[in-house]
A and B are shown apart, each in its own frame.
Chain A
């Protein structure tokens, strides 16, 4: 297993267009997280899946954003009617859930979105 992968790595789009990002977690991990990171800031939590269930969504996730994890494996994050303020790095992370008070999250390389 080569870790968490994200595609595409870079996306440039025009304002108003829809975009979709994909995340493939580490295969045995049942937890999957999406974060957003803007320039000069730390990542901010967007949403969390346990298997296929979306258990938490941040207030940052407006109704233009939707995330799915249909079979409890890969996940997609879609942004509809993109705005320039959506320009950011979108990070995916996965972890296991068995044992202990904390299970390390492994991050993917991110998808950098630029909205023109």
Chain B
């Protein structure tokens, strides 16, 4: 079946530091890949997506590249801000059949950015 694995444990950074959150996946076929973000007290929001190999999704200074050869979709940002503190979820979906659009999520990574 499909699965998504994110790096373990919370991430704590100082403002303006470089961020990487690792994500790897297992899926048959060619899934679409996503990063969702959950800010404190708010619902899940789509941060960025990539629908085919070598695509780069980007939004709000965050980037992730769909790497089919390593089955990875790592999230990066060059300079984090306190306002980026949130929980980040990597997810995938597969097209086709009655599973079209169903999302499989990783366990989430808590990011805390200090001033």
In contact, A107 and B106 (Cβ under 8 angstroms): no
List A contacts of B49 (CB < 8 A): 102, 104
Query: Please, how many residues of chain A have a CB less than 8 angstroms from a CB on the other chain?
Result: 26
Of the candidates B95, B102, B105, which one forms a contact with A101 in the assembled complex, judged by CB atoms under 8 Å apart?
B95
Q: A42-B91, A110-B43 are in contact. Are A105 and B108 (CB under 8 A)?
A: no
A61 to chain B, nearest CB (A): 13
Q: Scoring B residues 72 to 106 as 1 if CB is less than 8 Å from chain A, else 0, what string do you get?
A: 00000000000000000101010100111111111
Among B44, B45, B46: residue with most chain A CB under 10 A: B44
A91 near B103: Cβ-Cβ < 8 Å: no
Contact A31 B45, beta carbon cutoff 8 Å:
no
Total residues of chain B contacting the partner, CB 8 A = 24
The answer to whether B42 and A101 touch across the interface, beta carbons within 8 angstroms, is no
| Contact across chains for A56 and B99 when beta carbons are under 8 A apart | yes
B51 interface contact, C-beta 8 A? yes
- The answer to whether B107 has its CB under 8 Å from any CB of chain A is yes
Q: Mark A78-115, 1 if CB is under 8 A from B, else 0.
A: 00000000000001010101000111110111100000
Contact flag A45-B102 (CB < 8 Å), given A40-B108, A102-B51: yes
Task: Name the residue on B nearest A53 (C-beta).
Answer: B98
CB pair A102–B101 under 8 Å, yes or no, is yes
Contact A45 B103 (CB under 8 A): yes
Most buried by B among A55, A95, A101, A103: A101
A72 interface residue, CB < 8 Å from B?
A: no
Check if B22 is an interface residue, CB within 8 A of chain A.
Answer: no
